[in-house]
């Protein structure tokens, strides 16, 4: 089975884009902020981190008396979440490639000030601060690293700019702790509370929970007997498989199937084609990074005498997912729906 969906540009697995050595010293950031950003008045709680923070986000207190008015979104997933919460009119700048965003997100984001396409690096600190943000939201910790990010969260806090990082990517989080949907929903609820969109966040979470329940209700009873290989990237030198602890592992657990590479650590891990053949999966899920990626992967399988005879490939037990559905975020439910549709029609064959 082949499915097609709009795709998002890939980012470095597990970290997001990074650009070495781009962060100015705090004093340089202060000059940028004070000279070019909003003429920030520390008495204005909407443009500075105010007292009374009410959310502990990865060890950083975030909140204030008023919601932020000038939000910078550091990643496409952050853009998507803010649009879903209905606050796109407060996004003053963002990072992402419109042409590769899902159609519904792209339509809502067309009027945003996209200052950088993302991918392998971030925009400069100067470019970000020219948008005069009072709140910076990232789903990857690399945005806030000393090397390669825009500024550390401590530097931003000292300058009166609040920041938020997806809880599932907290720097001190145990990488061997499996990701759960509750972390994604916590992110939505917390961002919703910070931007004054609590009701919208609760509606989003409820909708996702209902969608998951609907998928589970349609799954066959023997779905737990199926082994699934999640093929992220890689061909000739061996594939990268979805491991125990990231979005692929979470999605497969929610479906009740067995992750053929559950024993591998981290979100994604390198393996060998010999291991894939030995584990003989019932289903292969392939991440589509856009461009010629899917064609290249399937051509590689067709050109390998052993792989093309692997049961899943021979029987067409293949589901393709756009990259945007394979990293933690709102679209993971869509991935579950797509795989669930396949399982409901083929799991008991």
Domain ranges of the chain: 26-173, 219-346
Question: Which alpha helices (H) appear in the chain, and where do they start and end?
Answer: 26-36, 76-84, 103-109, 125-129, 153-158, 181-195, 198-218, 247-255, 273-279, 293-302, 311-314, 332-346
Instruction: State how far the alpha carbon of 215 is from the alpha carbons of 208, 253, 257, 290, in Å.
Output: 11, 13, 13, 26
Q: What is the pTM of this model?
A: 0.81
CATH fold of 219-346: Rossmann fold (3.40.50)
Q: What angle do CA 205, 211, 217 make, to 5 degrees?
A: 135
pLDDT in tens, 290-330: 889 999 999 999 999 999 999 999 999 999 999 889 989 99
Half-sphere exposure of 37 (CA within 13 A, CB side): 33
pLDDT, position 266 = 85
Domain 26-173 shares a fold with domain 219-346: yes
pLDDT, position 29 = 52
Residues (pLDDT < 70) of the chain are 1-53, 346-349
Tell the CATH superfamily of the 26-173 domain: Nitrogenase molybdenum iron protein domain (3.40.50.1980)
pLDDT, position 34 = 45
pLDDT, position 46 = 36
């Amino acid at each position: 089975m082949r499915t097609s969906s709009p795709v998002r540009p890939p980012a470095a697995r597990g970290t997001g884009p990074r650009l070495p050595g781009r962060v100015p010293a705090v004093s340089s950031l202060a000059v940028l902020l004070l000279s070019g950003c909003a003429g920030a008045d520390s008495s204005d709680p909407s443009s500075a981190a105010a007292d009374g923070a009410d959310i502990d986000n990865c060890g950083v207190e975030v909140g204030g008396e008023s919601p932020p008015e000038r939000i910078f979104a550091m990643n496409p997933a952050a853009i998507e979440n803010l649009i879903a919460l209905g606050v796109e009119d407060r996004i003053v700048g963002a990072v992402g490639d419109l042409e590769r965003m899902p159609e519904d997100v792209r339509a809502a984001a067309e009027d945003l000030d996209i200052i950088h396409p993302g991918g392998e690096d971030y925009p400069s600190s100067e470019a970000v601060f020219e948008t005069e943000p009072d709140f910076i939201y990232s789903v990857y910790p690399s945005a806030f690293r000393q090397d390669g990010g825009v500024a550390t969260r401590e530097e931003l806090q000292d300058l009166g700019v609040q920041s938020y990082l997806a809880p599932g990517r907290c720097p001190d989080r145990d990488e061997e702790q499996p990701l759960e949907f509750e972390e994604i929903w916590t992110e939505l609820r917390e961002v919703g509370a910070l931007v004054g969109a609590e009701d919208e966040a609760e509606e989003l979470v409820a909708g996702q929970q209902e969608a998951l329940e609907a998928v589970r209700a349609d799954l066959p009873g023997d779905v737990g007997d199926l082994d699934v290989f999640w093929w992220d990237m890689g061909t000739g030198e061996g594939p990268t498989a979805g491991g125990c602890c990231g979005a692929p592992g979470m999605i497969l657990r929610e479906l009740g199937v067995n992750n053929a590479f559950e024993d591998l650590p981290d979100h994604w891990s390198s393996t060998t084609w010999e291991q894939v053949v030995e584990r003989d999966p019932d289903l292969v899920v392939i991440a589509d990074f856009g461009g010629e990626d899917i064609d290249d992967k399937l051509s590689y399988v067709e050109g390998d005498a052993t792989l093309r005879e692997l049961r899943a490939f021979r029987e067409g037990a293949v589901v393709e997912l756009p990259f945007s559905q394979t990293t933690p975020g709102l679209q993971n439910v869509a991935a579950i729906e797509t795989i669930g549709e396949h399982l409901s029609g083929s799991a008991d064959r």
